[in-house]
Chain A
């Protein structure tokens, strides 16, 4: 969890493109990974990343420092990702194309876990991703996702339970 110098955020807010580029450079990895976890394909994740930064650039003058910059940015990214998922699902209903697997994962627990995370309902998945994978606090995740911390606590529990069950099922059927 990197937090930029307040000075850089301030300069970017004032329209300094070099400062904004600095923010893009330091945060593109996290935004991209968050997007990838939510949308599950690289091309869309790249598009979401770009869209998120563009939106961030547009909204920066309204960012008052009430939360951490990264939290604010993740919230934008998450909203872009949700939009992208909705667009894709609409399209998929029309086209019935296959979901792309993210290649490169090794065929182990990790791959099984990824598949299981994919299988989670979206509300559980996004909470699990920002907290478990990104290490956001419940307060931060609450700001990013727009849900109360107590709800998150329940969702994390349900997500973990479902994931363990999914992995156990796979192990039982000899897939892992």
Chain B
């Protein structure tokens, strides 16, 4: 037998593929051939080394594979019916809905069965609110895929582990699993830890050295806070990822798409705009570097139909030309509206957290002190007015403030149950200007049940529903994620009756010391002769406030439109007009030129603002609830005010 044949046979025998007929001649050859024996030994060593490779870690690709498979399995929808004939706002709304429905069904994302009882949409906020008091602990792992972070990094993958124990113990660990190309790419590993008064975020330094040589070489930085007040809006516990209480309160901005299934649990799929869904991303985007999203990008959230936990969500590009302009300006490629730009999927879920879960073991000495000082609840409450009705919540933290610039006698009491919370700040020494607490000059006076006046502002992305009560010798500020009616009942049960705040508090509250005055439209039209007003506003909006800003010949007018029942509507729509003949330098880098009413103007997607100069007067329409088409439509309906309001 030749060595060549013997070696091939030895090799095949290792693989149990030997030829039995060659047994004898092979044996004879190998016994007398050191070269073939060396080959056999070497091949066995290769096998031993090769076996190790089976330990290669394998990523969990099931969510993304099944998403692709489901997209494949789903029949493509027929094109939506024509909407060209529908007039006015209906047409605009129909266009949005049609685009949304087609995309939601055609996306490569999770399966959605259409046809949920319509009553459900209106019910969701109440059901979420009811569920919020029941959640005490939670632990979830998400698989996250992000696309188009950078031309050289078209896809990044992460795992995010979130552990929560009510009310304010929270840990999110985001681990970057991306394979980056050669070069300095900071791994986007994040750790956000919150434990009552302490808050800590570790994130990568996000400047890549390649483009910024002065960038510090070390990879991490830590920001930390102590003396944090309970449920602080600036260092918020991003609990919407546990239960989207904030996100879903704006129920009229949420559309129910259908039913689906994630982690073998039945889900309800809802859709909302990215700007309304921001609280859902808080645990990811607390730090690090992420791709940008357009305010009108669509977010599809799959909520567990029993617990209302968000089990998956995806972001899709908003199909509009201004979004393409915006994308080009942000260095993003063309992004089709049927491909998820960000996918977050739960891969495991438990409704428990480890015993003795303490997310912040130690706070760095350099932590910023926000000045809140915890004190025993009973001793603080003894000095405070306390509502008789607490909506079933129980005492949590209480204390005082050591920060300067606050009333010396300011007290805080907080209450909680599950994810529901309420905090009450009060002082006897508030002298204005402005209302006490985090309410602005546009807070609406409301009548509380059983009498009394208070000033209300709806929730924003970082603040809850807010109420400021001015009583004789006492100012109370209440903030909560409870429904508005519940907040009003709590305020009404205070042993103090709200009265209208002094007029000068409300008028002097403008920024920069520029006088502000609330007037009616007729007076505004007299003060600014070229004033334009819309002949038609989007459904649900009405005039909320009219302000005169400044005095004399330079007087400007802002008309605020809001939807009275809306939550999370931002500042609604603001129409600002000033006797200035030119546009100021833009406030945002993302502006671009558009034609408004036949005039060259500009548009900023991030501010949702359209600006132009017409008849020597600066005009601006601002409202993130409207996309460019909506803003242009509103602009085109503007007409001189004097014709309608009289001289």
Contact = CB atoms under 8 A, between A and B. Distances in A.
Contacts of A153: 8, 11-12, 17
Interface in A21-62: 21, 24-25, 28-29, 32-33, 36-37, 41-43, 46, 49-50, 53-54, 57-58
Nearest to A163: B46
B355 interface: no
Interface string B592-632: 00000000000000000000000000000000000000000
Interface stretch (B65-73, B290-298, B409-417): B65-73
A107 B39 CA distance: 24
A50 B64 CA distance: 7
B64 A100 contact: no
A14 to B, nearest CB: 12
B644 to A, nearest CB: 59
Residue in B46, B62, B64, B65 whose Cβ sees the most chain A Cβ within 10 Å: B65
Contacts of A154: 8
Residue in B12, B61, B181 whose Cβ sees the most chain A Cβ within 10 Å: B61
A20 B70 CA distance: 10
B427 to A, nearest CB: 58
Given A41-B179, A153-B17, A132 B62 contact: no
A57 B73 CA distance: 9
B281 to A, nearest CB: 24
A164 interface: yes
The interface residues of chain B, by DSSP majority, are classed as: helix
Interface in B38-67: 39, 42-43, 45-47, 49-54, 56-62, 64-66
Contacts of A148: none
Interface stretch (A2-10, A68-76, A85-93, A109-117): A109-117
B502 to A, nearest CB: 64
A160 B43 contact: yes
A166 B541 CA distance: 76
B290 to A, nearest CB: 19
Given A24-B66, A50-B68, A100-B182, A160 B56 contact: no
B7 interface: yes
A114 B15 contact: no
B69 A17 contact: yes
A147 interface: no
Residue in A15, A98, A114, A157 whose Cβ sees the most chain B Cβ within 10 Å: A157
B28 interface: no
Nearest to B56: A33
Nearest to A57: B69
A46 B155 CA distance: 11
Nearest to B7: A157
B56 A21 contact: no
Nearest to B177: A42
A157 B16 contact: no
A156 B72 contact: no
Nearest to A43: B179
Contact of A58 (B15, B43, B72): B72
Interface in B444-488: none
A81 to B, nearest CB: 15
A15 B58 contact: no
Contacts of A100: 179, 181-182
Contacts of A132: 15, 46-47, 50
A20 B66 CA distance: 8
Contacts, number: 115
B65 A54 contact: yes
The interface residues of chain A, by DSSP majority, are classed as: helix
A17 B58 contact: no
A175 to B, nearest CB: 15
Contacts of B56: 33, 36
Contact of A137 (B11, B16, B47, B66): B16
Interface residues of A, number: 46
B311 to A, nearest CB: 15
A114 B11 CA distance: 19
Nearest to B59: A46
Contacts of B62: 21, 24-25, 28
Given A43-B155, A110-B53, A20 B69 contact: yes
Nearest to B154: A43
Nearest to B4: A157
Contacts of B51: 133
Contacts of B42: 160, 164
B49 A32 contact: no
A161 interface: yes
B369 to A, nearest CB: 42
Nearest to B43: A160
B65 A49 contact: yes
A121 interface: no
B70 A160 contact: no
Nearest to B8: A157
Interface string B137-172: 000000000000000000101000000000000000
B69 A53 contact: yes
Residue in A49, A53, A100, A132 whose Cβ sees the most chain B Cβ within 10 Å: A132
Residue in B8, B68, B157 whose Cβ sees the most chain A Cβ within 10 Å: B8
7 contacts: A21-B62, A28-B62, A33-B53, A43-B179, A160-B43, A163-B46, A164-B39
Q: Which 3 pairs between the two chains have the least Cβ-Cβ distance?
A: A157-B8, A29-B58, A157-B11
Interface of B: 7-8, 11-12, 15-17, 39, 42-43, 45-47, 49-54, 56-62, 64-66, 68-70, 72-73, 111, 155, 157, 179, 181-182, 264
Interface of A: 15, 17-18, 20-21, 24-25, 28-29, 32-33, 36-37, 41-43, 46, 49-50, 53-54, 57-58, 97-98, 100, 104, 109-110, 113-114, 131-133, 137-138, 149, 153-154, 156-157, 160-161, 163-164, 167
Given A114-B53, A160-B39, 19 more contacts: A24-B61, A24-B62, A24-B66, A28-B62, A33-B54, A46-B61, A53-B65, A54-B65, A54-B69, A113-B49, A132-B47, A132-B50, A137-B16, A138-B15, A156-B8, A157-B7, A160-B42, A160-B46, A161-B39
